[in-house]
Each structure stands twice: as structure tokens, then as C-alpha cells.
Structure 1
């Protein structure tokens, strides 16, 4: 492999790309990764020289703190390629702000902005052939940081590694989605780490989701941990409800992730003169709206799924199905959002980020 230096960034490239081994028409989300990855170590009180190197396994001591105390946070973002071959990202500064907010909550050192953007842009340009143009195609980007200090003392680690890995992607969910409103298990409690993209937030969801899958549901709608009275979010998505012609979504809090797609949809709703309410949503309100026919749409929003319509939900022993509606908000927002992401339309919000 050859080695070059770009400013503070050290770059090692692969001898032979693996891209010819990939079937881009049949991608399994998050299973295939590009040729290179970004790595930066934190030790002796500071972040060291960042490196781009061939994608590879890493070696950690069995006593590394991440295995024992769960100091790990991550982000999810995407890169796109337009018809002219330009590489575009969507609101990447928000992702950096959020991973640093998550890191702070988990007692992890914040990552420098200049390292993040120089490394990410260099990585995308190096693996540009992995970013396919065309509707639905993207490159899923996963920045994450883990505690690597050896030792099982129960305290914040003094050593960390920050990574960025990339995976070519198409759609995240396939088929129709139905969700179960959860009343027994909880995702997050007030005062906890629910607003952070901490790894354990997701690991704790898998078992309840497996139980829901046995009942025919693809995801869970989480409710507040105290009384299971209010709707919070669903798996990897923030939730939106169209009640008559009003769009409703729960407010962000210390138990609900401040989703970047969520924020974007709120702005798009206002841009389209659609009434949007950010307020607590009771489970009983949702059930009543489904019974009286005022619940027109439900959909989830997130980086991986973008917007995913929810066809129905279950609560206790009842199940509710939603009829398809013409000119749905979900389809309107998805088109407008993806047109911005793929550089197919104007970007009045200045969300697009061009990799030069």
C-alpha cells in the first residue's frame, strides 16, 4: 500500500479495491463496507493524528472499557451523488454536533470539527466509486467512538478511538411496517441517556422488538417509562402522526432523540403551510383517533429509513389499520427531502453540503 499525508491527516490506500465483488443491485443494509475507514486515537489527553487506512479488523484488549462499561456512541448520516457526479451530504454539521453531545453525556472527549470534516471528505473522495447516483442509492456513513483503555476499574476511560466507516445503501425497510405500542419495557428514563446516540440505547431494544416480531410487528412504539402514557419514538425512528390535516410529533426531551430528519420534516411542513404541532401525544389520543377515523397517517423518520409509512399499530388486544390516503404527507415530504439530498431541486434551507 502507498502512504501520503494530507495536512494533519495520514492516508494509506488499498492495493486492490473490493468494489468489483459487490452486487449494488442487491445490497443488504449495513453488511458491505467500502475499501477504507477513518481512525483517530485519543490518548495522553488529546486526539492524535487521524488516519485513513484500508478497512480492516481492529485489535482490543479483553479488558477494554467499552466491553465492560459501554462507553460507545455513534452517528448515522449519508452521502449522495448527483447526475454530475458531485458528492453531497445532508446537514453533516448537525451530525457532528449530535455525536459530540452524545459523547459529552457519556464522558467521552468531544471530537474536533476540523479532524471530522477533513477526514470525512477525504474518505468520501477516496471511495467515491462506492457512491452510486440514482434515486434510492446512497452511502451510509457511520461515525462512532469507543472507549479502548485496558482495565476494569469502573470509571471513565482515558483512551478512545474514533472511527468512520461507510456502507453503500439502498432502502432500509422493505415491505409494510406495523408497530406495537409497548407498555412493559422502556427505552429510556428521564435523566438518562435517551437523547444520546449511545450504543446501549439500541442494544436494549432488541429483545422487546424480538417479542413484538413474534406477534407480527416490525417495530415498537416506545412510551414514557413512568406511566407508559405518552408516545415517544419507534426503534430507529422519530414518529409523526397526521390527525385530520394537522401533523403532530412529540417534543424532544432527555428521552427522545433530536432527529435530524425529524427537524427537517418540521421545517418542510411549515414550508408547505401544513399545521405542525410539537407536543406530547397520549396513547389514548392515538387510539381514539384511529377509532374515529381522524388518524390519517403515521410515519417514522430517520437517516436510514428517511420516511417510512406505518400501515397499522397494535395496542393491548386491539389492532388498527390505516387506509391509504391520496397525496399523503409522507410521500410529499419524502419527495421534497430526497430531491434536496440528490440535488434534483432547489435547497431553500441550505441543507446540502458539497464535498469539493
Structure 2
């Protein structure tokens, strides 16, 4: 392998060192050293390229995070500004609300002062009204009038109590009189007389009930006799002999009707057989007549055979080997 060939096939790689042969003939050891150096050179190039790519990636990431930080900083500043505005707005609103509340409290305080003054004036007027002589006299007259009313009510109450006591005494007297009357009406003699009257009434009721029971018993016997007589009459009227005679007569009538029906059926059957035979004969005659009309009589065949040229136009198309003309038929 020559040096020129290696240089042309490996562009950008290390050139193997010159040997004692001045580059014309390369030994295996020189070639292995050159190949090892070439691999190291390729590995170094790969490492340098990867380092450059990592450096570039780090720079891009740094720029990206820097821009992201700038955006976050800007957003933070905007949020802080908005928050400050909202806080200021809330403070202003709170100040307005506080001012209105203070004004309302001041107004309520003034109203309370006015009401206290009015109440004080009203108390003073009442004091002045009820401390003068005329007012005192008026109060005395009212008290005297009230005392009269109270005394009148006490008197009315006393009268009512008297009336109620009289009514209570009258009711008690009435109850005592009623008790005395009950005692007088429930003495031993009266009780014995009442018991005797009750027992007599019970005996009278028992006698009447016995008489009524005897009458019912007699009536029941009479009704039983009437029932037996009626039953005998019904049995006599509904005896089995007439029914047996009627059944026998009905059986005889049914037997006669059955015999007549049997005879009539036999006659109808015979007539039907005759009609069937006649019908068959008629059908046979009609069939024979129709069948005979389908064929030419022998006489006409013989007449046609006497002049065979007359039939030639009608049978000339038929093959003699398969068909025989009417004029050739021998009867």
C-alpha cells in the first residue's frame, strides 16, 4: 500500500509516519500505529463536536431560562402593580364606607340627644302638671270616685252572696223533701205489695204463654195432617203408570218411524243405484258417439280408396316409409 493511495482515501485523517522504506512499503506495526492514531483522532473529533453541541445547548438553555425569567419578572411586576391598585381601591372603598358609617353614627347620636331632650321636657311637663293644686284636687276626686265604685261593688257582692246562700238552702230543703218522699214510698208494705203484683203478673204471663203454646201445638198437628193429605194426593196424581205408558208409546212411535225411515232409505238407495246405472249408460253412449265422430267410417275410406288421386294433395308431404295413405289402407 503506497502513501499516495492512503492520502487520497483518507482525507482529513492522520498520515502514517514515514518508515525506513521512505513510505513506499508500510509495515504492519506502522499501519497499526497509524490506525490507532486515526481512531484516536476520530474519537477526539467526536468528543470536541459533542462538547461544542453541549456548550451550544447550555447557552440556548441559559438564554431560554433568561427570557423566561424576564417574562416572569415582568409578569410579577404587573401583578404587583395590579395588587397595589386593588389595595388602593380597597382602601378608598373602606375609607368611603367608614366615612358614611361615621356620618350615620353622628346622625344617630344627634337623634338620641334630641330624643333625650324631648323625654326630659316631657317629664318636666308631667311634673309640673301633677304637682300643682288643681291636679292634686283632681287626683283626690278621682280617688274618692274610685272608692265609691269599690264600695258599690262590695255591696253587690254581698247581695249576690246572700242570694246564693238562699238558693243553696232551698236546694237542700228540696233534697230533704225528696228523700222523705222516697222513704215513704219504699216502706215494707209498699215493697211487699209491689213484689206480689210482680209475681202475679209473671204467673199471668206464664199462663198466657202456656195457652199460646198449646194453640201453636194444635195448629202444627193440623198443618201436618193437611201436608200428609196433600202429599198423598200429589203421589196419586204423579203415579209412574201414566209415565210408563207414555214412554212405551213413545218407544213404539220411534220404532215405527225408524222402520219407515229404513224402508225409505232402502228405496232411495235402490233409486240412486238405478239412476247411477242409467247415468253410466248415457255417458257411455255419449262417449261412444263422440269417439265414433273422431274417426272416418269404413265406407268413406273405401270410397276414397277408389279415387286415390283426390287425397294425394293432402298426404303428399308424408313419407311413405312412415305413413300409409288412406287410399292404401285395406279394410
Q: TM-score range by the shorter chain?
A: under 0.3
Instruction: From the CA coordinates, give the structure whose radius of gyration is larger.
Output: 2
Point out which structure has higher relative CO (alpha carbons under 8 A, 6+ apart). 1
Structure with the bigger percentage of strand: 1
Structure with the bigger percentage of helix: 2
State the TM-score, normalizing by the size of structure 2: 0.12
State the TM-score, normalizing by the size of structure 1: 0.11
